[in-house]
Amino acid sequence: MEIQLYVYDLTNGMARQLSQAYLGIQIDAVYHTSLVFGGIEYFFGAGVQTCRAGSTHHGRPMETIPMGSTQLPLEVILDYLESLKQVYTPESYDLFAHNCNNFTNDFSMFLLGRGIPEHITSLPKRVLDTPFGQMLRPQIEAGMRGTVQRPLDEQNALPSTAARNGTAHGAEGSAQRTAISTNGNGMTGNRTYGSVIGAKSLAELERHLQGAKETAATVFFTSSTCAPCKIAYPMFDTLADRYSNALFVKVDVNVAQDVGAKYRVRATPTFMTFKKGVKQDEWLGADPNMLKGNVERLINTVFPPHPHTSLKVPTLQYGSLKPVTYSKVPPLDKLMTKLGNAGHDPQLTILKSFIETRNKDAREAPLPNLHAISQKFRNKVLSLPVDVRFAAVDLLRCATIDPRVSGYFAEERAPALIPTLLKHINDLPTCPHNLRLVTIQLACNMFPSPLFIREITQGSTDLLQELIQLVTRSLLDISHPSVRVSSAWLVFNLATTNYRVRREEEQEALAEAEQVELAASIVETLGSETNEEAVKALLLSLGFLLYCGPTNGEVMDLCRALDVKKTARECAKMKGLTDLAGEVGSLL
Protein backbone atom coordinates (compact mmCIF):
# COMPACT_ATOMS: atom_id res chain seq x y z
CA MET A 1 0.00 0.00 0.00
CA GLU A 2 1.50 3.32 -1.10
CA ILE A 3 1.76 6.13 1.47
CA GLN A 4 1.72 9.81 0.56
CA LEU A 5 2.39 12.88 2.67
CA TYR A 6 0.10 15.83 2.00
CA VAL A 7 1.73 19.15 2.98
CA TYR A 8 -0.42 22.27 3.43
CA ASP A 9 0.42 25.89 4.24
CA LEU A 10 -1.96 27.12 6.95
CA THR A 11 -1.17 30.74 6.01
CA ASN A 12 -1.81 30.36 2.27
CA GLY A 13 1.49 32.00 1.39
CA MET A 14 1.53 34.77 4.01
CA ALA A 15 4.33 33.10 6.03
CA ARG A 16 6.68 33.29 3.06
CA GLN A 17 5.90 36.99 2.55
CA LEU A 18 5.87 38.26 6.15
CA SER A 19 8.05 35.95 8.24
CA GLN A 20 11.30 37.81 7.67
CA ALA A 21 9.78 41.12 8.75
CA TYR A 22 7.96 39.78 11.83
CA LEU A 23 10.27 37.01 13.05
CA GLY A 24 13.64 37.90 11.62
CA ILE A 25 13.90 34.54 9.88
CA GLN A 26 12.56 33.25 6.58
CA ILE A 27 10.04 30.43 6.71
CA ASP A 28 8.27 29.10 3.67
CA ALA A 29 5.01 27.97 5.33
CA VAL A 30 3.25 27.09 8.55
CA TYR A 31 2.98 23.42 7.81
CA HIS A 32 0.01 21.14 8.28
CA THR A 33 0.54 17.53 7.20
CA SER A 34 -1.48 14.37 6.80
CA LEU A 35 -0.87 10.84 5.61
CA VAL A 36 -2.90 9.43 2.73
CA PHE A 37 -3.35 5.81 1.71
CA GLY A 38 -6.20 3.76 0.33
CA GLY A 39 -8.00 6.94 -0.67
CA ILE A 40 -8.29 8.16 2.95
CA GLU A 41 -6.56 11.10 4.58
CA TYR A 42 -5.47 10.79 8.25
CA PHE A 43 -4.57 13.85 10.32
CA PHE A 44 -4.67 15.43 13.78
CA GLY A 45 -6.69 18.49 14.69
CA ALA A 46 -9.95 18.06 16.56
CA GLY A 47 -8.54 14.68 17.63
CA VAL A 48 -7.46 12.07 15.10
CA GLN A 49 -9.61 12.65 12.02
CA THR A 50 -10.23 10.84 8.72
CA CYS A 51 -11.81 11.92 5.48
CA ARG A 52 -11.65 11.16 1.80
CA ALA A 53 -8.30 12.25 0.46
CA GLY A 54 -8.18 15.94 -0.46
CA SER A 55 -11.53 16.87 1.11
CA THR A 56 -10.31 18.67 4.25
CA HIS A 57 -11.06 22.32 4.88
CA HIS A 58 -7.38 23.09 4.19
CA GLY A 59 -7.99 22.96 0.44
CA ARG A 60 -5.36 21.64 -1.95
CA PRO A 61 -1.98 20.57 -0.56
CA MET A 62 0.97 22.72 -1.51
CA GLU A 63 3.04 19.57 -1.96
CA THR A 64 2.46 15.81 -2.18
CA ILE A 65 5.44 13.69 -1.15
CA PRO A 66 5.63 9.93 -1.91
CA MET A 67 6.76 8.32 1.34
CA GLY A 68 7.04 4.69 0.25
CA SER A 69 4.93 1.59 0.75
CA THR A 70 3.91 -0.57 3.69
CA GLN A 71 3.01 -4.24 3.74
CA LEU A 72 1.10 -3.95 7.01
CA PRO A 73 -2.55 -5.14 6.85
CA LEU A 74 -5.17 -2.41 7.12
CA GLU A 75 -6.62 -3.96 10.30
CA VAL A 76 -3.22 -3.73 11.98
CA ILE A 77 -2.76 -0.12 10.88
CA LEU A 78 -6.15 0.90 12.22
CA ASP A 79 -5.53 -0.85 15.54
CA TYR A 80 -2.33 1.17 15.91
CA LEU A 81 -4.28 4.31 15.01
CA GLU A 82 -6.51 3.59 18.01
CA SER A 83 -3.44 3.65 20.26
CA LEU A 84 -2.44 7.04 18.82
CA LYS A 85 -5.86 8.39 19.79
CA GLN A 86 -4.89 7.89 23.43
CA VAL A 87 -2.10 10.43 22.98
CA TYR A 88 -3.57 12.69 20.28
CA THR A 89 -6.80 13.85 21.92
CA PRO A 90 -8.62 17.07 20.97
CA GLU A 91 -7.67 18.59 24.33
CA SER A 92 -3.97 17.81 23.89
CA TYR A 93 -3.52 19.83 20.67
CA ASP A 94 -0.78 22.43 20.92
CA LEU A 95 0.27 24.34 17.79
CA PHE A 96 3.93 24.40 18.83
CA ALA A 97 4.41 21.31 21.02
CA HIS A 98 1.84 18.68 20.01
CA ASN A 99 0.48 19.26 16.56
CA CYS A 100 -0.54 17.59 13.31
CA ASN A 101 3.05 17.15 12.23
CA ASN A 102 3.96 15.27 15.42
CA PHE A 103 1.03 12.93 14.75
CA THR A 104 2.00 12.41 11.12
CA ASN A 105 5.61 11.78 12.12
CA ASP A 106 4.60 9.13 14.69
CA PHE A 107 2.17 7.44 12.30
CA SER A 108 4.78 7.42 9.54
CA MET A 109 7.31 5.88 11.93
CA PHE A 110 4.97 2.94 12.46
CA LEU A 111 4.01 2.51 8.81
CA LEU A 112 7.43 2.98 7.21
CA GLY A 113 10.07 2.92 9.95
CA ARG A 114 10.94 6.58 9.37
CA GLY A 115 9.38 9.96 10.05
CA ILE A 116 8.44 12.91 7.87
CA PRO A 117 10.95 15.53 6.63
CA GLU A 118 12.87 17.20 9.45
CA HIS A 119 12.34 20.75 8.16
CA ILE A 120 8.61 20.29 8.90
CA THR A 121 8.92 18.86 12.41
CA SER A 122 11.60 21.37 13.44
CA LEU A 123 9.68 24.49 12.37
CA PRO A 124 8.00 25.23 15.76
CA LYS A 125 11.38 25.24 17.51
CA ARG A 126 12.85 27.57 14.89
CA VAL A 127 10.00 30.02 15.44
CA LEU A 128 10.18 29.84 19.23
CA ASP A 129 13.94 30.36 19.15
CA THR A 130 13.32 33.90 17.94
CA PRO A 131 12.41 36.70 20.41
CA PHE A 132 9.33 37.67 18.42
CA GLY A 133 8.28 34.03 18.09
CA GLN A 134 8.18 33.70 21.87
CA MET A 135 6.35 36.98 22.25
CA LEU A 136 3.78 36.25 19.55
CA ARG A 137 3.13 32.63 20.55
CA PRO A 138 -0.23 33.28 22.31
CA GLN A 139 -1.53 35.37 19.40
CA ILE A 140 -0.38 32.83 16.81
CA GLU A 141 -2.00 29.95 18.71
CA ALA A 142 -5.26 31.85 19.16
CA GLY A 143 -5.35 32.88 15.51
CA MET A 144 -4.72 29.36 14.23
CA ARG A 145 -6.99 27.42 16.60
CA GLY A 146 -10.11 27.86 14.50
CA THR A 147 -8.30 26.51 11.45
CA VAL A 148 -6.34 23.59 12.84
CA GLN A 149 -9.05 22.30 15.20
CA ARG A 150 -12.04 22.90 13.01
CA PRO A 151 -14.34 19.85 12.76
CA LEU A 152 -14.71 18.26 9.36
CA ASP A 153 -17.72 19.16 7.28
CA GLU A 154 -20.33 16.48 7.78
CA GLN A 155 -20.40 15.46 4.12
CA ASN A 156 -16.62 14.89 4.11
CA ALA A 157 -16.16 13.10 7.43
CA LEU A 158 -15.97 9.31 7.34
CA PRO A 159 -17.82 7.18 9.89
CA SER A 160 -15.58 5.39 12.35
CA THR A 161 -15.92 2.04 10.55
CA ALA A 162 -15.50 3.32 7.01
CA ALA A 163 -11.74 2.91 6.80
CA ARG A 164 -11.85 -0.50 8.44
CA ASN A 165 -14.50 -1.73 6.01
CA GLY A 166 -12.75 -0.28 2.98
CA THR A 167 -15.47 2.27 2.16
CA ALA A 168 -13.09 4.76 0.62
CA HIS A 169 -11.02 2.08 -1.04
CA GLY A 170 -13.67 1.28 -3.63
CA ALA A 171 -14.55 -1.95 -1.83
CA GLU A 172 -18.11 -3.13 -1.54
CA GLY A 173 -17.76 -3.59 2.20
CA SER A 174 -16.25 -6.18 4.44
CA ALA A 175 -17.28 -9.77 4.11
CA GLN A 176 -19.56 -11.13 6.75
CA ARG A 177 -17.48 -12.80 9.42
CA THR A 178 -18.16 -16.39 10.36
CA ALA A 179 -16.65 -17.75 13.55
CA ILE A 180 -17.13 -21.02 15.38
CA SER A 181 -18.60 -20.57 18.84
CA THR A 182 -17.93 -23.12 21.51
CA ASN A 183 -19.69 -23.37 24.85
CA GLY A 184 -18.56 -25.23 27.92
CA ASN A 185 -20.09 -28.52 26.80
CA GLY A 186 -18.34 -28.51 23.46
CA MET A 187 -21.40 -27.67 21.32
CA THR A 188 -20.78 -25.48 18.33
CA GLY A 189 -22.73 -23.25 16.03
CA ASN A 190 -22.01 -21.04 13.06
CA ARG A 191 -22.06 -17.48 14.31
CA THR A 192 -23.25 -15.85 11.11
CA TYR A 193 -26.24 -13.75 12.07
CA GLY A 194 -26.51 -10.93 14.62
CA SER A 195 -29.56 -9.27 13.04
CA VAL A 196 -33.03 -10.11 11.80
CA ILE A 197 -33.18 -11.66 8.32
CA GLY A 198 -36.13 -11.06 6.02
CA ALA A 199 -37.72 -13.74 3.81
CA LYS A 200 -40.04 -12.81 0.92
CA SER A 201 -40.92 -16.31 -0.30
CA LEU A 202 -41.31 -19.87 0.89
CA ALA A 203 -38.14 -20.91 -0.93
CA GLU A 204 -36.15 -18.16 0.76
CA LEU A 205 -37.47 -19.04 4.23
CA GLU A 206 -36.75 -22.72 3.82
CA ARG A 207 -33.26 -21.98 2.55
CA HIS A 208 -32.57 -20.02 5.76
CA LEU A 209 -34.05 -22.77 7.95
CA GLN A 210 -31.99 -25.40 6.13
CA GLY A 211 -28.86 -23.37 6.87
CA ALA A 212 -29.79 -23.24 10.56
CA LYS A 213 -30.07 -27.01 11.07
CA GLU A 214 -27.30 -26.96 13.67
CA THR A 215 -28.63 -24.04 15.67
CA ALA A 216 -31.86 -22.45 16.91
CA ALA A 217 -34.32 -20.53 14.72
CA THR A 218 -37.27 -18.26 15.47
CA VAL A 219 -39.69 -17.16 12.73
CA PHE A 220 -41.87 -14.07 13.18
CA PHE A 221 -44.91 -14.17 10.87
CA THR A 222 -46.12 -10.60 10.54
CA SER A 223 -47.85 -8.33 8.02
CA SER A 224 -47.75 -4.69 7.02
CA THR A 225 -51.33 -4.25 8.26
CA CYS A 226 -50.70 -5.79 11.72
CA ALA A 227 -50.59 -2.97 14.27
CA PRO A 228 -49.95 -5.25 17.31
CA CYS A 229 -46.91 -6.73 15.53
CA LYS A 230 -45.06 -3.45 16.00
CA ILE A 231 -45.05 -4.02 19.75
CA ALA A 232 -42.88 -7.12 19.30
CA TYR A 233 -40.47 -5.66 16.74
CA PRO A 234 -38.00 -4.08 19.24
CA MET A 235 -37.72 -7.25 21.36
CA PHE A 236 -37.26 -9.43 18.27
CA ASP A 237 -34.44 -7.16 17.06
CA THR A 238 -32.82 -7.18 20.51
CA LEU A 239 -32.88 -10.97 20.73
CA ALA A 240 -31.38 -11.29 17.25
CA ASP A 241 -28.53 -9.01 18.26
CA ARG A 242 -27.95 -10.75 21.60
CA TYR A 243 -28.03 -14.35 20.28
CA SER A 244 -26.01 -13.95 17.11
CA ASN A 245 -25.43 -17.70 16.75
CA ALA A 246 -29.19 -18.25 16.23
CA LEU A 247 -31.43 -17.46 13.27
CA PHE A 248 -34.20 -14.87 13.53
CA VAL A 249 -36.42 -14.51 10.44
CA LYS A 250 -39.23 -12.06 9.80
CA VAL A 251 -41.83 -12.92 7.11
CA ASP A 252 -44.59 -10.63 5.84
CA VAL A 253 -47.33 -13.14 4.96
CA ASN A 254 -49.10 -10.54 2.81
CA VAL A 255 -46.03 -10.57 0.56
CA ALA A 256 -45.01 -14.21 0.97
CA GLN A 257 -48.46 -15.79 0.71
CA ASP A 258 -46.99 -19.23 -0.01
CA VAL A 259 -45.36 -19.12 3.43
CA GLY A 260 -48.67 -18.45 5.16
CA ALA A 261 -50.26 -21.36 3.33
CA LYS A 262 -47.41 -23.82 4.06
CA TYR A 263 -47.16 -22.99 7.78
CA ARG A 264 -50.92 -22.44 8.24
CA VAL A 265 -50.60 -18.95 9.64
CA ARG A 266 -54.15 -17.89 10.59
CA ALA A 267 -53.35 -14.59 12.33
CA THR A 268 -50.45 -12.24 12.95
CA PRO A 269 -48.28 -12.04 14.89
CA THR A 270 -47.49 -15.75 14.96
CA PHE A 271 -44.16 -17.11 16.18
CA MET A 272 -42.55 -20.51 15.59
CA THR A 273 -39.29 -21.86 17.01
CA PHE A 274 -37.07 -24.61 15.62
CA LYS A 275 -34.36 -26.63 17.35
CA LYS A 276 -31.79 -27.95 14.90
CA GLY A 277 -34.37 -27.98 12.14
CA VAL A 278 -37.21 -29.52 14.18
CA LYS A 279 -40.22 -27.40 15.08
CA GLN A 280 -40.61 -26.81 18.83
CA ASP A 281 -43.22 -24.19 19.76
CA GLU A 282 -45.87 -22.01 18.14
CA TRP A 283 -47.80 -19.14 19.74
CA LEU A 284 -49.87 -16.08 18.90
CA GLY A 285 -49.75 -12.57 20.29
CA ALA A 286 -47.40 -9.60 20.54
CA ASP A 287 -46.24 -10.12 24.13
CA PRO A 288 -42.53 -9.12 24.28
CA ASN A 289 -41.99 -10.94 27.59
CA MET A 290 -43.44 -14.19 26.26
CA LEU A 291 -41.29 -13.84 23.15
CA LYS A 292 -38.17 -13.29 25.24
CA GLY A 293 -38.93 -16.20 27.57
CA ASN A 294 -39.67 -18.68 24.79
CA VAL A 295 -36.60 -17.72 22.77
CA GLU A 296 -34.25 -17.90 25.75
CA ARG A 297 -35.61 -21.31 26.72
CA LEU A 298 -34.95 -22.49 23.17
CA ILE A 299 -31.41 -21.06 23.17
CA ASN A 300 -30.64 -22.77 26.49
CA THR A 301 -31.71 -26.15 25.13
CA VAL A 302 -29.62 -25.79 21.97
CA PHE A 303 -26.67 -24.14 23.72
CA PRO A 304 -26.79 -25.14 27.39
CA PRO A 305 -25.25 -22.37 29.54
CA HIS A 306 -21.90 -23.07 31.10
CA PRO A 307 -22.29 -24.44 34.64
CA HIS A 308 -19.91 -21.76 35.94
CA THR A 309 -22.45 -19.04 35.09
CA SER A 310 -24.66 -20.24 37.97
CA LEU A 311 -21.86 -19.93 40.54
CA LYS A 312 -21.37 -16.98 42.82
CA VAL A 313 -17.85 -15.87 41.85
CA PRO A 314 -17.96 -12.04 41.85
CA THR A 315 -14.20 -11.53 41.57
CA LEU A 316 -14.05 -13.53 38.36
CA GLN A 317 -17.39 -12.21 37.07
CA TYR A 318 -16.78 -8.54 37.73
CA GLY A 319 -13.07 -8.22 38.51
CA SER A 320 -10.77 -6.03 36.47
CA LEU A 321 -9.25 -7.52 33.34
CA LYS A 322 -6.94 -4.55 32.82
CA PRO A 323 -3.37 -5.68 32.07
CA VAL A 324 -0.86 -5.18 34.85
CA THR A 325 1.95 -2.85 33.75
CA TYR A 326 5.11 -1.38 35.28
CA SER A 327 5.38 2.35 34.70
CA LYS A 328 7.76 3.54 37.43
CA VAL A 329 10.71 5.43 35.95
CA PRO A 330 13.98 5.03 37.90
CA PRO A 331 16.65 7.77 38.05
CA LEU A 332 17.68 7.68 34.41
CA ASP A 333 21.11 9.23 34.92
CA LYS A 334 22.03 6.38 37.26
CA LEU A 335 20.67 3.89 34.76
CA MET A 336 22.85 5.33 31.99
CA THR A 337 25.89 5.29 34.28
CA LYS A 338 25.40 1.55 34.87
CA LEU A 339 25.67 1.06 31.10
CA GLY A 340 29.24 2.33 31.12
CA ASN A 341 30.47 3.47 27.71
CA ALA A 342 27.24 2.25 26.11
CA GLY A 343 25.44 4.96 28.07
CA HIS A 344 26.87 7.49 25.63
CA ASP A 345 25.43 5.74 22.59
CA PRO A 346 23.37 8.27 20.57
CA GLN A 347 20.33 5.99 20.20
CA LEU A 348 20.18 5.16 23.91
CA THR A 349 20.64 8.84 24.75
CA ILE A 350 17.76 9.75 22.45
CA LEU A 351 15.60 7.07 24.10
CA LYS A 352 16.45 8.45 27.53
CA SER A 353 15.50 11.98 26.41
CA PHE A 354 12.18 10.70 25.05
CA ILE A 355 11.35 9.04 28.37
CA GLU A 356 12.28 12.15 30.35
CA THR A 357 10.18 14.41 28.15
CA ARG A 358 7.23 12.03 28.08
CA ASN A 359 7.37 11.68 31.86
CA LYS A 360 6.76 15.42 32.11
CA ASP A 361 4.27 15.84 29.26
CA ALA A 362 3.52 13.22 26.60
CA ARG A 363 2.40 15.97 24.22
CA GLU A 364 5.95 17.26 23.96
CA ALA A 365 7.53 13.87 23.29
CA PRO A 366 7.54 12.99 19.57
CA LEU A 367 8.67 9.46 18.85
CA PRO A 368 12.37 8.86 18.32
CA ASN A 369 13.54 6.68 15.45
CA LEU A 370 12.30 3.36 16.84
CA HIS A 371 13.67 1.41 13.90
CA ALA A 372 17.19 2.62 14.67
CA ILE A 373 16.71 1.94 18.39
CA SER A 374 15.54 -1.60 17.64
CA GLN A 375 18.63 -2.22 15.52
CA LYS A 376 20.86 -0.85 18.28
CA PHE A 377 19.37 -3.22 20.86
CA ARG A 378 19.62 -6.26 18.59
CA ASN A 379 23.14 -5.52 17.33
CA LYS A 380 24.84 -3.99 20.34
CA VAL A 381 22.86 -3.99 23.59
CA LEU A 382 22.41 -7.77 23.65
CA SER A 383 26.19 -8.09 23.30
CA LEU A 384 26.97 -5.95 26.34
CA PRO A 385 28.35 -7.61 29.47
CA VAL A 386 25.50 -9.65 30.91
CA ASP A 387 25.57 -7.82 34.24
CA VAL A 388 24.78 -4.41 32.65
CA ARG A 389 22.22 -5.42 30.02
CA PHE A 390 19.39 -4.96 32.52
CA ALA A 391 19.90 -1.18 32.48
CA ALA A 392 19.25 -0.96 28.72
CA VAL A 393 16.23 -3.28 28.94
CA ASP A 394 14.87 -1.19 31.82
CA LEU A 395 15.23 1.87 29.64
CA LEU A 396 13.18 0.13 26.97
CA ARG A 397 10.60 -0.89 29.59
CA CYS A 398 10.08 2.76 30.53
CA ALA A 399 9.52 3.67 26.87
CA THR A 400 6.94 0.95 26.25
CA ILE A 401 4.49 2.58 28.65
CA ASP A 402 3.76 4.89 25.72
CA PRO A 403 1.16 3.14 23.51
CA ARG A 404 2.89 4.44 20.38
CA VAL A 405 6.08 2.63 21.35
CA SER A 406 4.44 -0.62 22.47
CA GLY A 407 2.32 -0.62 19.30
CA TYR A 408 5.39 -0.17 17.10
CA PHE A 409 7.34 -3.00 18.74
CA ALA A 410 4.27 -5.24 18.82
CA GLU A 411 3.94 -5.12 15.03
CA GLU A 412 7.63 -4.86 14.13
CA ARG A 413 8.49 -7.31 11.40
CA ALA A 414 11.28 -9.87 11.68
CA PRO A 415 13.83 -9.55 13.03
CA ALA A 416 11.54 -8.04 15.71
CA LEU A 417 13.06 -6.80 18.95
CA ILE A 418 10.64 -8.17 21.56
CA PRO A 419 10.74 -11.86 20.48
CA THR A 420 14.50 -11.54 19.99
CA LEU A 421 14.92 -10.14 23.49
CA LEU A 422 12.72 -12.80 25.11
CA LYS A 423 14.59 -15.59 23.34
CA HIS A 424 17.90 -14.04 24.37
CA ILE A 425 16.88 -14.10 28.04
CA ASN A 426 15.46 -17.61 27.85
CA ASP A 427 18.62 -18.95 26.18
CA LEU A 428 21.07 -17.52 28.73
CA PRO A 429 22.65 -20.34 30.75
CA THR A 430 22.50 -18.11 33.82
CA CYS A 431 20.37 -14.98 33.72
CA PRO A 432 20.94 -12.29 36.38
CA HIS A 433 17.75 -11.78 38.34
CA ASN A 434 17.62 -8.02 37.61
CA LEU A 435 17.78 -8.68 33.85
CA ARG A 436 15.05 -11.32 34.14
CA LEU A 437 12.92 -8.96 36.26
CA VAL A 438 12.99 -6.00 33.88
CA THR A 439 12.37 -8.29 30.90
CA ILE A 440 9.23 -9.68 32.58
CA GLN A 441 8.06 -6.15 33.35
CA LEU A 442 8.77 -5.08 29.77
CA ALA A 443 6.63 -7.98 28.54
CA CYS A 444 3.81 -6.88 30.86
CA ASN A 445 3.95 -3.37 29.41
CA MET A 446 3.22 -4.73 25.93
CA PHE A 447 -0.20 -6.14 26.83
CA PRO A 448 -2.25 -2.91 26.67
CA SER A 449 -1.45 -2.76 22.94
CA PRO A 450 -4.16 -4.48 20.87
CA LEU A 451 -1.46 -5.20 18.29
CA PHE A 452 0.49 -7.24 20.84
CA ILE A 453 -2.64 -9.19 21.73
CA ARG A 454 -3.24 -9.83 18.04
CA GLU A 455 0.35 -11.05 17.63
CA ILE A 456 -0.01 -13.47 20.56
CA THR A 457 -3.41 -14.83 19.61
CA GLN A 458 -3.24 -14.82 15.81
CA GLY A 459 0.34 -14.23 14.82
CA SER A 460 3.64 -15.58 16.06
CA THR A 461 3.52 -18.86 18.01
CA ASP A 462 7.22 -18.31 18.71
CA LEU A 463 6.43 -15.12 20.63
CA LEU A 464 3.83 -16.89 22.75
CA GLN A 465 6.16 -19.81 23.44
CA GLU A 466 8.93 -17.44 24.52
CA LEU A 467 6.50 -15.70 26.90
CA ILE A 468 5.36 -19.00 28.40
CA GLN A 469 8.94 -20.21 28.77
CA LEU A 470 9.90 -16.93 30.48
CA VAL A 471 6.98 -17.29 32.89
CA THR A 472 7.41 -20.94 33.77
CA ARG A 473 11.13 -20.58 34.47
CA SER A 474 10.77 -17.35 36.42
CA LEU A 475 8.09 -18.72 38.73
CA LEU A 476 10.66 -21.23 39.93
CA ASP A 477 13.10 -18.51 41.04
CA ILE A 478 12.83 -19.19 44.78
CA SER A 479 15.56 -16.69 45.68
CA HIS A 480 13.97 -13.52 44.32
CA PRO A 481 10.38 -12.72 45.39
CA SER A 482 10.19 -9.69 43.07
CA VAL A 483 10.82 -11.94 40.04
CA ARG A 484 8.09 -14.36 41.13
CA VAL A 485 5.58 -11.56 41.76
CA SER A 486 6.20 -9.99 38.34
CA SER A 487 6.02 -13.42 36.72
CA ALA A 488 2.69 -14.06 38.42
CA TRP A 489 1.27 -10.85 36.96
CA LEU A 490 2.62 -11.77 33.52
CA VAL A 491 0.71 -15.06 33.84
CA PHE A 492 -2.34 -12.99 34.81
CA ASN A 493 -1.98 -10.93 31.61
CA LEU A 494 -1.81 -14.09 29.53
CA ALA A 495 -4.76 -15.71 31.31
CA THR A 496 -7.02 -12.65 31.03
CA THR A 497 -6.12 -12.28 27.37
CA ASN A 498 -7.37 -15.81 26.78
CA TYR A 499 -10.44 -15.22 28.95
CA ARG A 500 -11.47 -12.05 27.07
CA VAL A 501 -11.29 -13.89 23.74
CA ARG A 502 -13.22 -16.82 25.26
CA ARG A 503 -16.09 -14.62 26.41
CA GLU A 504 -16.13 -12.07 23.58
CA GLU A 505 -15.39 -14.33 20.60
CA GLU A 506 -16.42 -17.69 22.05
CA GLN A 507 -13.13 -19.37 21.22
CA GLU A 508 -9.79 -19.95 22.90
CA ALA A 509 -6.87 -17.61 22.27
CA LEU A 510 -4.29 -20.01 23.70
CA ALA A 511 -4.05 -23.61 22.61
CA GLU A 512 -5.08 -26.20 25.20
CA ALA A 513 -1.50 -27.41 25.60
CA GLU A 514 -0.36 -23.84 26.32
CA GLN A 515 -3.09 -23.36 28.91
CA VAL A 516 -2.13 -26.68 30.55
CA GLU A 517 1.52 -25.60 30.73
CA LEU A 518 0.56 -22.34 32.41
CA ALA A 519 -1.87 -24.03 34.80
CA ALA A 520 0.72 -26.63 35.82
CA SER A 521 3.27 -23.91 36.63
CA ILE A 522 0.68 -21.94 38.60
CA VAL A 523 -0.35 -24.93 40.72
CA GLU A 524 3.25 -25.97 41.34
CA THR A 525 4.16 -22.46 42.48
CA LEU A 526 1.05 -22.05 44.66
CA GLY A 527 2.06 -25.09 46.66
CA SER A 528 5.09 -23.29 48.11
CA GLU A 529 4.49 -19.56 47.53
CA THR A 530 4.31 -17.40 50.66
CA ASN A 531 4.19 -13.94 49.10
CA GLU A 532 0.57 -12.77 49.29
CA GLU A 533 0.72 -10.61 46.16
CA ALA A 534 2.13 -13.48 44.12
CA VAL A 535 -0.52 -15.87 45.46
CA LYS A 536 -3.28 -13.40 44.59
CA ALA A 537 -2.00 -13.00 41.03
CA LEU A 538 -1.65 -16.76 40.59
CA LEU A 539 -5.13 -17.49 41.95
CA LEU A 540 -6.62 -14.92 39.62
CA SER A 541 -4.70 -16.38 36.71
CA LEU A 542 -5.84 -19.91 37.46
CA GLY A 543 -9.39 -18.69 37.97
CA PHE A 544 -9.50 -17.02 34.55
CA LEU A 545 -7.99 -20.10 32.87
CA LEU A 546 -10.78 -22.21 34.38
CA TYR A 547 -13.79 -19.89 34.42
CA CYS A 548 -16.24 -20.76 31.62
CA GLY A 549 -13.62 -22.97 30.01
CA PRO A 550 -14.31 -26.46 28.58
CA THR A 551 -15.79 -28.50 31.44
CA ASN A 552 -14.06 -31.68 30.31
CA GLY A 553 -10.91 -30.04 29.01
CA GLU A 554 -7.34 -30.86 29.96
CA VAL A 555 -6.93 -27.79 32.19
CA MET A 556 -9.90 -28.88 34.29
CA ASP A 557 -8.62 -32.48 34.39
CA LEU A 558 -5.17 -31.31 35.45
CA CYS A 559 -6.54 -29.16 38.27
CA ARG A 560 -8.68 -32.00 39.56
CA ALA A 561 -5.76 -34.45 39.38
CA LEU A 562 -3.52 -32.04 41.31
CA ASP A 563 -6.26 -31.42 43.88
CA VAL A 564 -6.43 -27.67 43.33
CA LYS A 565 -9.37 -27.51 45.75
CA LYS A 566 -7.00 -28.47 48.55
CA THR A 567 -4.40 -25.96 47.32
CA ALA A 568 -7.07 -23.26 47.27
CA ARG A 569 -8.06 -24.09 50.86
CA GLU A 570 -4.43 -23.63 51.91
CA CYS A 571 -4.29 -20.28 50.09
CA ALA A 572 -7.51 -19.21 51.81
CA LYS A 573 -5.60 -19.11 55.11
CA MET A 574 -3.79 -16.00 53.86
CA LYS A 575 -5.36 -12.77 55.02
CA GLY A 576 -7.42 -11.17 52.28
CA LEU A 577 -7.48 -14.19 49.96
CA THR A 578 -10.25 -16.27 51.54
CA ASP A 579 -12.98 -15.24 49.09
CA LEU A 580 -10.82 -15.48 45.97
CA ALA A 581 -9.46 -18.91 46.94
CA GLY A 582 -13.02 -20.09 47.58
CA GLU A 583 -14.13 -18.89 44.14
CA VAL A 584 -11.31 -20.76 42.40
CA GLY A 585 -12.05 -23.92 44.37
CA SER A 586 -15.75 -23.75 43.47
CA LEU A 587 -14.94 -23.92 39.75
CA LEU A 588 -13.87 -27.53 40.23
Helix (H) or strand (E) holding 190: strand 188-191
pLDDT of res. 133:
64
CA distance 222 to 220: 6
The 10s digit of each residue's pLDDT in 436-468 is 999 999 999 999 998 898 888 876 678 999 999
pLDDT of res. 4:
95
Weakest mean pLDDT among 235-249, 358-372, 480-494: 358-372
Catalytic residue selected from 32, 98, 208, 424: 32
Catalytic residue selected from 51, 100, 444, 559: 100
Residue 269, preceding peptide bond in cis (omega within 30° of 0): yes
Domains of the chain and any CATH numbers: 2-169 (3.90.1720.30), 188-303 (3.40.30.10), 305-323+476-588 (no CATH), 326-448 (no CATH)
Q: Using the predicted structure, report yes or no on whether residue 579 has a pLDDT greater than 60.
A: yes
CA distance 1 to 257: 51
The 10s digit of each residue's pLDDT in 277-297 is 999 999 999 999 999 999 999
The 10s digit of each residue's pLDDT in 90-148 is 888 887 778 899 999 999 989 988 899 999 988 877 777 777 666 667 777 777 777 77
pLDDT of res. 169:
41
Q: Per-residue confidence at 193, pLDDT binned at 50, 70, 90? A: confident
The 10s digit of each residue's pLDDT in 322-332 is 999 999 999 99
Task: Identify the three-state secondary structure at position 302.
Answer: helix
Nearest to 6 by CA among 111, 114, 117: 117
Paired residues of 219 in beta bridges: 249, 272
The 10s digit of each residue's pLDDT in 73-86 is 888 898 888 888 88
The 10s digit of each residue's pLDDT in 40-59 is 999 998 889 999 898 888 88
Beta strands 247-252 and 216-222, pairing class: parallel
Contacts for 74 with CB less than 8 Å, ≥ 6 apart: 1, 38, 163, 164, 166
Give yes or no: 306 in active site. Answer: no
The 10s digit of each residue's pLDDT in 378-411 is 999 999 999 999 999 999 999 999 988 998 998 8
Helix (H) or strand (E) holding 300: helix 288-302
The 10s digit of each residue's pLDDT in 509-554 is 999 999 999 999 999 999 899 999 999 999 999 999 999 999 889 9
**Global pTM value:** 0.73
Give yes or no: 32 in active site. Answer: yes
pLDDT of res. 186:
35
